[in-house]
Amino acid sequence: MSEQDTYFQQEILNKPLQKHGLLEELNLPPKAIKFIRNNRRNIIIGLLCCVLAIVGWSSLSYYLARQNDRAAALLSEAVGQGVPGQRKVLLQKVLDEYGRTGSAKWAKVEMGHLAFDAQQYDEAIKVYRDVLDDLAKSSPIFPLVQLNLAQAYENKNALTEALAAYQRLSEIKGFAGESYLAMGRIYELQKAVPQAKEMYGKVLAEEGVSPAVKENVQAKLDRL
């Protein structure tokens, strides 16, 4: 054996073995491998936090979905009750147990309808106003509750408040014709003929009002 071969063998034996693992098998850059190994603990903690966050979010979504399903089922059962007393009990249960769900808003509106049907107009007005306070004007049920509020005022004979409620309703697209018709009716009851004629004229100008309604309104105008 030559002296050169002996030198190389000694060099290999004396040289420390390089660490070779999964990171090297993945052909990662040496700097990346060094960074991962130096920060292994923090990386593991970060990964665990991500996993826990994903699992927690999934569990929360599942829980909320179950709550929504149960609230909807209970609301359906309540609305299907023919006896007002039993309906009210179930609606209150929706509010108490599932107050953060969309079904709870509908349950509250239904409570207002119960009061309205019982001619408890003050209670109905309070409920409708509370619902409106919690609704964005862009909500699809906002104009419906606003209409219920206006009708409750009108049935209570609080005509000034009813006019104001109908006026707000008239500003919502698709509800102007109905609002003007109601306002014309109220002005007519108050013997305010010029204002009644003005409102009936607006009804006739609305494109969304049916021909039959316009015919009746025209007849009213002819009589005034």
Domain extents in the chain: 119-224
Judge whether 180 and 202 are in contact, CB under 8 Å. Answer: yes
Question: What percentage of the chain reaches a pLDDT higher than 70?
Answer: 65
Judge whether 169 and 150 are in contact, CB under 8 Å. Answer: yes
Domain covering 119-224 in this structure, CATH number: 1.25.40.10
Weakest mean pLDDT among 92-96, 142-146, 149-153, 197-201:
92-96
> Does residue 162 surpass a pLDDT of 90?
yes
pLDDT of residue 13: 47
60-83 per-residue burial string, b: 16 or more CB within 10 A, e: under 16: eeeeeeeeeeebbebbeebeeeee
More confident residue, 23 or 87: 87
On average, the pLDDT of the chain sits at 79
Q: What is the dihedral of CA 106, 110, 112, 114, to 10 degrees?
A: -170
> Does residue 116 surpass a pLDDT of 90?
yes
Q: Which residues, 6 or more positions from 217, have their beta carbon under 8 angstroms from its beta carbon?
A: 181, 184, 200, 203, 204, 209
The full length of the chain comes to 224
Mean pLDDT of 70-84: 69
pLDDT of residue 184: 93
What's the rounded Cα separation, in Å, for the pair 55 and 125?
44
